[in-house]
Amino acid sequence: MKPNNKKRSNSKGFAEIFGTHAVHAALQNPNRRHEKLFISQNQRKILNKDIEKFVPDINELHNKEMFKMFGNEATHQGIVLRTSKLIQPNLSELINNSKKNKSDVVVMLDQVTDPNNIGSIMRSCVLFNCKAIIISNDNAPNITGTMAKAASGALETVNYISVVNLSRAMIQFKKNDYWIYGFDNNEINNQNINLDLPKKCVLVFGSEGKGIRNLTKKECDTLVSIPMQAHKQYKIDSLNVSNACSIALYEHFKNNIK
């Protein structure tokens, strides 16, 4: 292990991932190339021969130096990995790879911009057997360290696929036998306690407050809402998008457990 004597690299194709679970998961991913690991003195106990096999350059920093380079330890948890970005499949590749599957579920996010929410959705995707999230090129964040930390390792297995136009992507899914379900809190007529989702489906969620855009709604086969009891006094009448997505994914998962 080397003392830190180099500035942070800005080389293209690499990104910084931070947080204990996110970094440990990334280290075990054979599809990544690791450039450098920064750890604080508080985290030196995690170092072992296994980690040293994965990363050619390990830098232990004094806590003050770690703070100067990466900010508050509450954010990065004293561990930052500089590693290659993951190559994501395109939409056609995703659909072609799923053609033989009798059951498949995909999440589509329409202008959901909070990386913490998206990271939480990724975590739910792993637990409920969803292998992809679709977002638009515009009005959606790129993969960030914050997203990776919130995903708690799920970034290594959930595809995060950006498309030019969500509506066209929905049409492509429908041509390949997927049903499109839009989750809209305003659709009170389609509340169903026992949501019967088809085996192959795309679950569409919009941003909190605005919901799914009208152009996106038009391509949905069905618009539904999750039944809930609003608290009128304090105006609590909707779920966080990551919570809503977890419920929907579970509904699909429970009916398709092998």
CATH code for the part of the protein at 91-254: 3.40.1280.10
Pairing outcome for strands 179-183 and 222-224: parallel
Q: What percent of the chain has pLDDT over 90?
A: 66
Identify residue 166 by its one-letter amino acid code: L
Choose the weakest-confidence range: 31-35, 68-72, 119-123.
68-72
Identify residue 47 by its one-letter amino acid code: L
User: What residue spans define the domains of the chain?
Assistant: 2-84, 91-254
- Share the mean pLDDT of the chain: 89
Which pLDDT band, with edges at 50, 70 and 90, does 54 fall under?
Answer: confident
Give the class (CATH, top level) of 2-84. Answer: alpha beta
Instruction: Mark residue 6 as left, alpha or beta (left: phi above 0; alpha: psi -120 to 50; beta: remaining).
Output: beta
147 touches 155 (CB < 8 A):
yes
Task: Evaluate if pTM is beyond 0.85.
Answer: yes
pLDDT at residue 6, rounded to an integer: 45
Give per-residue pLDDT as tens, 174-208.
999 999 999 987 655 466 566 889 999 999 999 98
Q: Quote the CA–CA distance of 17 and 107 in Å, as a whole number.
A: 23
Measured CA to CA in angstroms, residue 197 lies from 31, 105, 207 at distances of: 33, 10, 22
For 62-80, what is the mean pLDDT? 87
pLDDT at residue 8, rounded to an integer: 46
Helices (H), 77-226: 91-97, 115-127, 145-151, 166-175, 214-217
